Chain A
Amino acid sequence: MKREILDRLLEGQKAKRPLALVTDLESGRQLLLDGGETLGELAGDAAAEAAAARALDSEKSGRLPESSLFVQVFMPPLRLVVVGAVHIAQALVPMASLAGYDVTVIDPRQAWASDARFPDVKIADGWPDEALEALAPDRRTAVVTLTHDPKLDDPALITALNGPAFYIAALGSTRTHAKRRERLLAAGLGEAQIARIAAPAGLAIGARSPAEIAVSILAQMTAALRGAPPLVKAAPPQPAREGAPA
Chain B
Amino acid sequence: MSESRMSESRMTGSPHYADANEVLAEARRWLDEGRSVAMATVVATWGSSPRPVGSQLIVDERQNMLGSVSGGCIEGAVVQEAGSAMKDGKPRLLTFGVSDEDAWSVGLACGGSVQVYVEKLEG
- Write the nearest CB–CB distance from B45 to chain A, whole angstroms: 9
- Kindly report which residue of chain B lies nearest to residue A28, judged by CB atoms: B91
- Kindly report which residue of chain B lies nearest to residue A74, judged by CB atoms: B20
Q: Is B21 at the interface (CB under 8 A from chain A)? A: yes
The reply to whether A63 and B21 form a contact with Cβ atoms under 8 Å apart is no
A7-41: CB near B (< 8 Å → 1, else 0) gives 10110010000000001011110000000000000
Q: Is A192 at the interface (CB under 8 A from chain B)? A: no
Q: Which residues of A contact B123 (CB under 8 A)?
A: 3
The reply to whether B119 and A10 form a contact with Cβ atoms under 8 Å apart is no
In B1-56, the 8 Å CB interface with A consists of 12-13, 17, 19-21, 24-25, 27-28, 31, 39, 41, 43-44, 53-54
The reply to whether B24 and A100 form a contact with Cβ atoms under 8 Å apart is no
From A6, A10, A61, contact of B54 by CB (8 A): A61
- Write the nearest CB–CB distance from A100 to chain B, whole angstroms: 6
A2, A6, A7 — most chain B CB neighbours (10 Å): A6
- Write the nearest CB–CB distance from B48 to chain A, whole angstroms: 16
Q: Which residues of B contact A13 (CB under 8 A)?
A: 21, 24
The reply to whether A28 and B90 form a contact with Cβ atoms under 8 Å apart is yes
Q: Is A147 at the interface (CB under 8 A from chain B)? A: no
A190-207: CB near B (< 8 Å → 1, else 0) gives 000000000000000000
Q: Is A228 at the interface (CB under 8 A from chain B)? A: no
The reply to whether B43 and A9 form a contact with Cβ atoms under 8 Å apart is no
Q: How large is the interface on B (under 10, 10 to 19, 20 to 34, 35 or more residues)?
A: 20 to 34
Given A25-B93, A28-B119, A72-B54, A10-B24 contact (CB < 8 Å): yes
- Kindly report which residue of chain B lies nearest to residue A30, judged by CB atoms: B119
Q: Which residues of B contact A120 (CB under 8 A)?
A: 12
The reply to whether A98 and B122 form a contact with Cβ atoms under 8 Å apart is no
Measured between alpha carbons, how far is A73 from B25 in the docked complex, in Å?
Answer: 16
Q: Closest 4 interchain pairs by CB?
A: A28-B91, A61-B54, A70-B43, A61-B53
Subset of 10 A-B contacts with CB under 8 Å? A1-B39, A3-B122, A10-B24, A13-B24, A23-B117, A28-B91, A61-B53, A62-B53, A72-B53, A73-B54
